[in-house]
Structure 1
Amino acid sequence: MITTKQKTTIIFAVPALLMVTAFFGNLFVEGWSWSPFDFIIAAALLFGTAFFINLVIRSEKTLVSKLIVCFIILLVLALIWIELAVGIFGSPFAGN
């Protein structure tokens, strides 16, 4: 059985690994040019998402409702990330 502390560690390890991957990709992949501000925004989005998913998982709701809320949180993350990257909605903070 996985303890609550182990679940929390796993949840926050995923964005940490993604940030480390992005850092090394920025160093070694030609054409990958993230600025420090890009890393700050990515970290805020990823760790914020991990924080909210951790809150949902620790709640006393049913498994189905936890899965639905986690899916919605991940969908919002994906939409914001895509908007920042390429601007599918044409908002003022849209990417290229």
Structure 2
Amino acid sequence: MRARQPGDRTRDKASLARDVRRVLLGAGAILLVPLVAMRFTREVNWGPLDFAVAGLLLAGIGSLYVLLARKLRTAPQRRAIGGGLLLTLVLVWAELAVGLFGSPIAGS
């Protein structure tokens, strides 16, 4: 390992900002799917709150992965945390969509 240089911290911040920007753009791209689908079918009926919650969930999970992956040293650790976060995302999304577990946060 090399010693940390004075410019490393600035480079790390720029890299983190770039990664978070990618997460936000990815979340926005995913949210375009239901937005476009609403134009072509009545089966998809999302309101502004639905988009806000989905965006917060996607951006939050993605940003959390970016932050945690920076702390983990090995690829298996990153895959494990990524898999856990993906499972969390899918379960929360399913609960909000159809009330899979019947919790109070389930949709009506």
TM-score tier by shorter-chain length is 0.7 to 0.9
TM-score by length of 1: 0.82
Alignment match, 1:45: 57
For residue 84 of structure 1, the aligned residue among 81, 92, 96 is 96
- Report the Cα distance in structure 1 between the residues aligned to 2:34 and 2:81, rounded to whole angstroms: 27
The answer to whether structure 1 residue 69 and structure 2 residue 108 are counterparts is: no
Alignment match, 2:66: 54
Mind listing any 5+ residue stretches in structure 2 that lack a counterpart?
A: 1-14
Look at both structures and tell me which one has the larger radius of gyration over its CA atoms: 2
Letter in 2 for 1:36: P
TM-score by length of 2: 0.74
RMSD: 2.0
For residue 26 of structure 2, the aligned residue among 14, 38, 42 is 14
**Taking every aligned residue pair, what percent have the same amino acid on both sides?**
30
Q: 1:56 offset after TM fit, Å?
A: 2.2
Do the aligned partners of 1:57 and 1:66 also contact (CA within 8 Å) in 2? yes
Q: 1:27 offset after TM fit, Å?
A: 2.5
Mind listing any 5+ residue stretches in structure 1 that lack a counterpart?
A: none
